């Protein structure tokens, strides 16, 4: 059933337009890359702060600026990524690399959600002090997002 739905999507007018237009697919891809830059760049900045970089800068200051950018990046990445998927859903659903990338995105977003909604995060924001758990989650986040970037690029070459 999933494959049949993917084939229907791939035959849709929008999918054909995305594949056949000289400018549309590159424009959508550019939007996706912009979203990735905002999402991953902002997330890595927060993670680096949590790991001890820029110790003089309060976490609250870093988080205030970069969380908004990360959320904006997530929205752009998801919207433009969906359009890229629509162009070739059968290929993407048949790609272990793509499916692994999606699974790791879910893990990375879950990690961020758990951290940002914890009492440990609230304490870290208020007194600029945090322990091993926050640093461990930041390191996990950093590794996840770098792996996701690598897998995203790998998709283009497979």
Q: Which tens digit of pLDDT belongs to each residue from 25-60?
A: 999 999 999 999 999 999 999 999 999 999 899 999
Question: Looking at residues 132-139, what average pLDDT do you find?
Answer: 94
Tell me what pLDDT residue 124 has. Answer: 87
* pTM of the entire predicted model: 0.92
Query: Chain-wide mean pLDDT for the chain?
Result: 95
Domains of the chain: total: 1
Domain around 61: 2-156
- Write the CA distances from 113 to 10, 25, 78, 96, 103, integer angstroms: 33, 32, 17, 26, 15
CA terminus-to-terminus distance, the chain? 25
The pLDDT tens digits for 71-118 are 999 999 999 999 999 999 999 999 999 999 999 999 999 999 999 999
Tell me what pLDDT residue 47 has. Answer: 96
The contacts of residue 57 (CB under 8 Å, 6+ apart) are 49
CA dihedral 116, 118, 120, 124 (to 10 degrees): 30
Q: How confident is the model at residue 69 (pLDDT cuts 50, 70, 90)?
A: very high
Place of tokens 């905002």: 38
Judged on CB neighbours under 10 Å (0-12, 13-18, 19+), 22 is exposed
Position 158 pLDDT exceeds 80: no
């Amino acid at each position: 059933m999933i494959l049949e739905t993917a084939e229907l999507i791939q035959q849709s007018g929008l999918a054909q337009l995305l594949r056949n237009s000289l400018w549309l697919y590159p424009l959508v891809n550019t939007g996706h890359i912009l979203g990735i830059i905002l999402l991953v760049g902002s997330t890595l900045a927060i993670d680096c702060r949590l790991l001890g970089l820029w110790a003089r800068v309060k976490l609250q200051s870093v988080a205030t600026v970069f969380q908004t950018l990360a959320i904006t990046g997530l929205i752009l990445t998801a919207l433009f990524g969906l359009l890229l998927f629509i162009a070739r859903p059968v290929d993407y659903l048949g790609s272990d690399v793509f499916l692994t990338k999606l699974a790791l995105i879910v893990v990375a977003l879950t990690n961020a959600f758990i951290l940002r909604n914890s009492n440990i995060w609230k304490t870290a924001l208020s007194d600029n002090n945090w322990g091993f758990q926050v640093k461990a989650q930041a390191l996990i986040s950093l590794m996840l997002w770098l792996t996701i970037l690598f897998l995203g690029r790998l998709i283009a070459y497979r």
